[in-house]
Chain A
Amino acid sequence: DSGVTQTPKHLITATGQRVTLRCSPRSGDLSVYWYQQSLDQGLQFLIHYYNGEERAKGNILERFSAQQFPDLHSELNLSSLELGDSALYFCASSAGLGKETQYFGPGTRLLVL
């Protein structure tokens, strides 16, 4: 158990819908990262928040957004869902800003029908 929690574990929805994925980092960690794992793109970085502020953006679509709240949990919002958004979405956390281990949560498996 990494100490990072993600909910829900599984999500099935329809095209055009909007969903919210939730992540709670390890106790004391200030950084939260979101990654997407799909069959065609592999594992890729989406976005990084540190202590409530966005720090870096990767290959995140405009239909996707995220935020980190004062209690340090984070939410990833996916809207106007398409079939190709079906993937495993991971949240990771680390204590600070780089040069340290990122600990990954169990992931949320999203299926868009």
Chain B
Amino acid sequence: GIQVEQSPPDLILQEGANSTLRCNFSDSVNNLQWFHQNPWGQLINLFYIPSGTKQNGRLSATTVATERYSLLYISSSQTTDSGVYFCAVDPNSGYSTLTFGKGTMLLVSP
């Protein structure tokens, strides 16, 4: 099946810093989503981005489908950004299922 690798596995930032999270995938995809899992376990949709660039406030994402990677940018980080960030992809298999990476655990300290 498709492989999804996220880096870095862990990241510690001071409040106000910027960061870039990366997601590499091993095959072409129909769907790519970024999620934030907060400390209470809730999975929050950040972006649906199988290709191109999107921005939402301090967050933006870019997917280069031909090179099989996606980047999530967090600017001016806040303590509430802490949690685990997951990339998930739906391969061109004909089935609508998401394969998740192992996530990047982000801790933003005040």
The finding on whether chains A and B are genuine partners in a shared complex, rather than unrelated, reads yes
Which residues of A are at the interface with B, using a C-beta cutoff of 8 A?
A: 2, 31, 33, 35, 42-45, 48, 50, 55-56, 58, 88, 90, 92, 94, 97-104, 106-107, 109
Q: Which residues of A contact B103 (CB under 8 A)?
A: 42
Q: Is the interface of B mostly helix, strand, loop or mixed?
A: strand
Q: Which residues of B contact A94 (CB under 8 A)?
A: 96
In the complex, whether B19 has a CB less than 8 A from a CB of chain A is no
Knowing A98-B30, A99-B30, A100-B31, say if A56 contacts B41 (CB, 8 Å).
no
A97:B43 contact, CB within 8 angstroms: no
Residue of B nearest to A88 (CB): B41
Which residues of B are at the interface with A, using a C-beta cutoff of 8 A?
A: 30-31, 33, 35, 41-43, 45, 48, 50, 86, 88, 90, 95-100, 102-103
A92-B98, A98-B95 known; 7 other A-B pairs, CB under 8 Å?
Answer: A42-B103, A55-B96, A88-B41, A99-B31, A101-B45, A102-B96, A109-B41
